[in-house]
Amino acid sequence: MSLRTEFQSLCAQMESLQEALCSLRTAIDDRPPRGQRVLLLDSFGDAVEGTLGWLEEALGLVAPLMEESQPKGEPNFDVGRARQALVFCQEQFNRIMNCFMFDLASYDKVAQLMQLGRERRGEWQGWSNTVKGELEGCQQHLYDMNQALFRCWLEIAERVGMTSVSVQTTTIGQQVTVPQNQELTAEGMT
């Protein structure tokens, strides 16, 4: 595959993850009405908003790169800009993954979510199961984005490998030759 093709795949995976996170946000916001505020749900909402923000920043850098890489004739893909965009995307993905694993889908957070559904019963049980299902759905999208990032890194590594020159030096030794017929005389030497 080409670098441009892998970046197109990355963009598609990022957009799919964005849709899944928006669906998760909708599910969280769709909670049954109840008079008191629930801090757990506020932390879930904040975490989803953070991940969406980081993802949008990454998409904002990659999407224009894709549009510029399709001129009329021969494809002209700026590998330097692609590498910089990929570094930024990787950083944002690492943030998203960290937030998802610790602030949304950790065992403790899911257990608290399910406990909330059991305590409040009725609509709350169905709602907590829906949110848990959305969290599980996001995991596949995160995996797919990770794989797309990996394939982009492979393409960049192959391009670097194709255009680089390797120089090896070896030192066999140094040979010093002293002419045989010359007498070495110096002060104090015989």
Burial string for 10-46 (b: 16+ CB within 10 Å, else e) reads bbebbeebbebbeebbebbeebeeeeeeeeebeebee
Contacts of 46 (CB under 8 A, 6+ apart): 103
Domain ranges, ordered by start, for the chain: 3-163
Q: Cα(73)–Cα(176) distance, rounded to whole angstroms?
A: 61
DSSP 189: B
Beta carbons of 139 and 51 less than 8 angstroms apart:
no
Highest mean pLDDT among 26-40, 98-112, 162-176: 98-112
Query: Given this model, what pLDDT does residue 72 score?
Result: 47
Q: Is 178 left (phi over 0), alpha (psi -120 to 50) or beta?
A: beta
For the chain, give the mean pLDDT.
84
3-state helix, strand, coil in the chain (%, to 5): 75, 0, 25
Q: Cα(93)–Cα(55) distance, rounded to whole angstroms?
A: 7
Q: Cα(99)–Cα(109) distance, rounded to whole angstroms?
A: 12
CA 94 to chain centre: 5
DSSP 100: I
Q: What is the pLDDT of residues 53-79, one digit of tens each?
A: 999 999 998 887 776 545 444 356 677
82 C-beta neighbours (distance < 10 Å), count: 22
Q: Kindly indicate the confidence band of residue 189, based on its pLDDT and cuts at 50, 70 and 90.
A: low
